[in-house]
Amino acid sequence: MNVSGLLTSAGINIAICTVLFLLYSVLRKQPGNVRVYFGQRLAQRKSKGDGPSLIERLVPSASWIIKAWQTTEEELFAVGGLDAAVFSRVVIFSIRILSIAAIICIFLVLPINYFGHSMHHTEIGLESLKVFTIGNVGHRSRWLWVHCLALYIISLCACALLYMENKHLTNMRLAYISGSPQNLGRFTVLVRAIPWSGKSYSDSVTKLFTDYYASSYLSHQILYVPGRKLVNDAEKMYHTLNVPRMSKHCGSSMVRCGLCGVNEKSIRNPSEKSTFAEDIHDFADDFKKKECPAALVFFRTRYAALVAAQTLEHVNPMLWVTEMAPEPEDVLWANICVPYRLLWVRKLGIFIASIAFLIFFLLPVSFVQGLVHLEKLEKKYSYLKKLSGKRNFIFDMVTGYLPSAMLTLFLFCVPPIMIISSAVEGPVARSLRKRSACLKVLYFIIWNVFFANILSGSVFERFDKISSLKDIPAQLANGVPSMAVFFMTYILTSGWTSLALELMQPFALLLHWLDKGLFKGKNVLSCESQTFPYHTELPRALLFGLLGFTSAVTAPLMLPFLLIYFFMAYLIYRNQFINVYVTKYDTGGLYWPIAHSATIFSLMLMQVILLGVFGLKKSAVASGFTIPLIVCTFLFHLYCRQRFLPVFKRKFAQVIMEMDKQDELSGKLEEYHDQLQSGAYCQFKTTSKTSSTSGNMEDCENGKLDSPLVAQVKQSDSGDHDRLQDPDGSKPGLFNAPLIFTSELPQL
């Protein structure tokens, strides 16, 4: 591909982006689209009453850019949680380091590459883009020390910036922990693999925790097997409860949240004896059969919960497995009853399946690379020649725009598959499922977009097989500069245009319009609020970081494209966090260790590739200087792991104890205890009838914010992403009746 091919691709993408931006700035002002573009504001009731005038509405404007720019980190943290702050820091870090790299490489390295003596220069428009890469520098060139110097400066700056980010985010994480005393998950331990004692799991739990944690044990909540049968039983129970006389005996907790507030004692020992009590007793016996050997155990203090979660309770480590419970709205109820002994089998199965998927995906990648190297394939297979009779716009598009667009399309199917496979692994928290998917997608795209493209590209280039593992560094050193052009078009397509699509939300908009047109705004197809798709956006940002590092010295022309991407990302993601996405759960910054490791990997890969290039160019001095740099970078990584990683992996006694003390003094601890005991963790939720048919959108939220009553339903129903795994979440109209009780029976 030459400069004109690149320009074709750039032209197409810039045109698409511009149109999408303009459309967005108009569409967002239409009152009918509020649900699509201001989900977050709706959830926070920030939406203003007065909209812009009709003329204003139809004129494209850049006001959203200004607003996004003015948003401070504190606002972002308040709205999107620590995860949003981490994501924003990743983008800012990338902008900083790529700016430094761009300045150094474009003014120092690029001229040396261009005036290297290996190639003959033609007119700039027809010039092959390879003249701008390190491939154009001659063997044993005395100018390679400039590349080595640039490598040193970039590496040192990256390490320094990374250290600063680590420090900043560590402090933010500590502030996050101490700043969220209302998190009930910190009082709660999830106990799994409870042994069957003969009576019930509940009795076993009570016995163990009153025996060993007498002073700090508060109460517990047994978990139930989700499934159809239970739902039928629950319906039966509902009818039983619906008998008028029960209204005196049954506590508000039961009413408030379906089954989970059912305190066994209150059922077994009603204040006055009656036939109803016997009915209930029978039912409770029936119900016990579906108990699963897991429970949420609540403690009086956060520290006691932390200690219980850390300790091995039983001499058989496969029994009484404890871990900190996720926050109530973060729990993935569908996985909570997965037997603990099966977890490792599931993990192993998913690991193997992921590797198989990784390998299978090489097929589309090879096809894409075949298009990129059409020119060379033609020479080999003459029948392809008619396909590109002469070099024209079509040919430029087929080799320039099409491959990266196809790769982007192929990659669209990856995140949903990874979310499903992460759910099968059996995490008990949605945030952890998303994090696990993020990690999988990251491995996937680094392998399939970066390595597979470079290596298969080299294969097409030279038509010989990679004979052994030893060739791979040389192949990379050769491949990265020569594949730079393909990656530039990939940045244009997957970066720029995807960002524009992210802003414009065409899919959500389409569904919203269909809803309006076909179902009269009943929100059958569309969804109200989504959570931020970290598992697609973070890996993409990190991949572009990797591209930036690896191409900085070898093919500096890529840096401006990347910088534009990151600047746009900075503005657009801020806008999306503030306006569109709702934060229902977060990992508490657990994405940062992923980003840190990926950055170090990129940094070291850049150094290894340059070591390979220096080797190919037979520059012993430059190679010699690169090796200590690799060692130092690795040492830096090890140090950071020691210094910062534990903050993200473990909890701190000191912080937790201080919080406990303060809450005890202020009396808030009692309040939290009440919340826990009155059913903050609600396994079977009350869903309103309107949600009955919404099974087709994954990332959806049901119900409308019309009346306070339905709003109450909504607050307890946070079922995004879970429709696929949590069949009970979408079970219609099961416990909508008890909600009406709430107003009728405010207390016991």
**Chain positions contacting its own copies, by CB under 8 A:** 174, 212, 306-307, 310-318, 341, 344, 348, 467-470, 635, 638-639, 642-647, 650-655, 657
Distance of closest approach, residue 665 Cβ to its own copies, in angstroms: 15
Distance of closest approach, residue 463 Cβ to its own copies, in angstroms: 20
User: Cβ of 63: how many Cβ atoms within 10 Å?
Assistant: 12
- Residues whose CB falls within 8 Å of the CB of residue 464, separated by 6 or more in sequence, listed in order: none
Is the CB of 637 or the CB of 721 nearer to its own copies?
637
Is the CB of 95 or the CB of 657 nearer to its own copies?
657
C-alpha span between 229 and 107 (Å, rounded): 70
Distance of closest approach, residue 464 Cβ to its own copies, in angstroms: 15
Read out DSSP for 74-115?
Answer: HHHHHHHHHHHHHHHHHHHHHHHHHHHHHHHIIIIIHHHHHT
C-alpha span between 252 and 267 (Å, rounded): 13
- Residues whose CB falls within 8 Å of the CB of residue 583, separated by 6 or more in sequence, listed in order: 40, 79, 80, 81, 83, 84, 531, 532
- Buried b / exposed e across 458-479, counting CB within 10 Å, b at 16+? bbbbeeeeeeeeeebbebbbbb
Distance of closest approach, residue 693 Cβ to its own copies, in angstroms: 43
Distance of closest approach, residue 468 Cβ to its own copies, in angstroms: 4
Is the CB of 7 or the CB of 638 nearer to its own copies?
638
Distance of closest approach, residue 424 Cβ to its own copies, in angstroms: 18
DSSP state of 492: I
Distance of closest approach, residue 639 Cβ to its own copies, in angstroms: 8
Amino acid at 432: L
Is the CB of 403 or the CB of 427 nearer to its own copies?
427
Distance of closest approach, residue 398 Cβ to its own copies, in angstroms: 37
Distance of closest approach, residue 162 Cβ to its own copies, in angstroms: 17
Q: Which residues pair with 62 in a beta bridge?
A: none
Pairing verdict, β 321-324 and 217-224: unpaired
Distance of closest approach, residue 330 Cβ to its own copies, in angstroms: 22
Is the CB of 121 or the CB of 650 nearer to its own copies?
650
R_g (Cα) of the chain, nearest Å: 29
Is the CB of 345 or the CB of 518 nearer to its own copies?
345
Both tokens of residue 193? Answer: 């693999």
Is the CB of 78 or the CB of 631 nearer to its own copies?
631
Distance of closest approach, residue 638 Cβ to its own copies, in angstroms: 6
Distance of closest approach, residue 467 Cβ to its own copies, in angstroms: 7
Is the CB of 190 or the CB of 371 nearer to its own copies?
190
- Residues whose CB falls within 8 Å of the CB of residue 480, separated by 6 or more in sequence, listed in order: 454, 550, 551, 554, 555, 609
Is the CB of 160 or the CB of 635 nearer to its own copies?
635
Is the CB of 103 or the CB of 312 nearer to its own copies?
312
Q: Which residues pair with 324 in a beta bridge?
A: 189
Pairing verdict, β 291-299 and 321-324: unpaired
Is the CB of 565 or the CB of 648 nearer to its own copies?
648
Distance of closest approach, residue 299 Cβ to its own copies, in angstroms: 13
Is the CB of 313 or the CB of 330 nearer to its own copies?
313
Is the CB of 78 or the CB of 635 nearer to its own copies?
635
Determine the 3-state secondary structure of 497 from DSSP. helix
DSSP state of 293: E
C-alpha span between 213 and 204 (Å, rounded): 14
Determine the 3-state secondary structure of 394 from DSSP. helix
Is the CB of 173 or the CB of 721 nearer to its own copies?
173
Q: For residue 190, what is the enclosing H or E element?
A: strand 188-192
Distance of closest approach, residue 510 Cβ to its own copies, in angstroms: 46
Is the CB of 351 or the CB of 393 nearer to its own copies?
351
Distance of closest approach, residue 530 Cβ to its own copies, in angstroms: 34
Distance of closest approach, residue 310 Cβ to its own copies, in angstroms: 5
Distance of closest approach, residue 610 Cβ to its own copies, in angstroms: 23
Is the CB of 210 or the CB of 247 nearer to its own copies?
210
Angle, helices 144-178 vs 534-554, to 10°: value is 160
Pick from 604, 544, 484: nearest CA to 136? 484
Distance of closest approach, residue 561 Cβ to its own copies, in angstroms: 38
C-alpha span between 450 and 456 (Å, rounded): 10
Catalogue the long-range contacts made by 703-706 (C-beta closer than 8 Å, 24 or more residues apart): 703/528, 704/523, 705/42
- Residues whose CB falls within 8 Å of the CB of residue 119, separated by 6 or more in sequence, listed in order: 128, 130, 131, 136
Q: What sections of 446-586 are H helices per DSSP?
A: 452-462, 471-482, 484-490, 498-504, 506-519, 534-554, 558-579
C-alpha span between 230 and 104 (Å, rounded): 65
Both tokens of residue 701? Answer: 């939220």
C-alpha span between 189 and 308 (Å, rounded): 7
Is the CB of 69 or the CB of 212 nearer to its own copies?
212
370 phi and psi, to 5 degrees?
A: -60, -40
Is the CB of 265 or the CB of 470 nearer to its own copies?
470
- Buried b / exposed e across 513-523, counting CB within 10 Å, b at 16+? eebbeeeeeeb
- Residues whose CB falls within 8 Å of the CB of residue 574, separated by 6 or more in sequence, listed in order: 68, 69, 71, 76, 88
Residue 727: Cβ-neighbour burial (10 angstroms; 0-12, 13-18, 19+) = middle
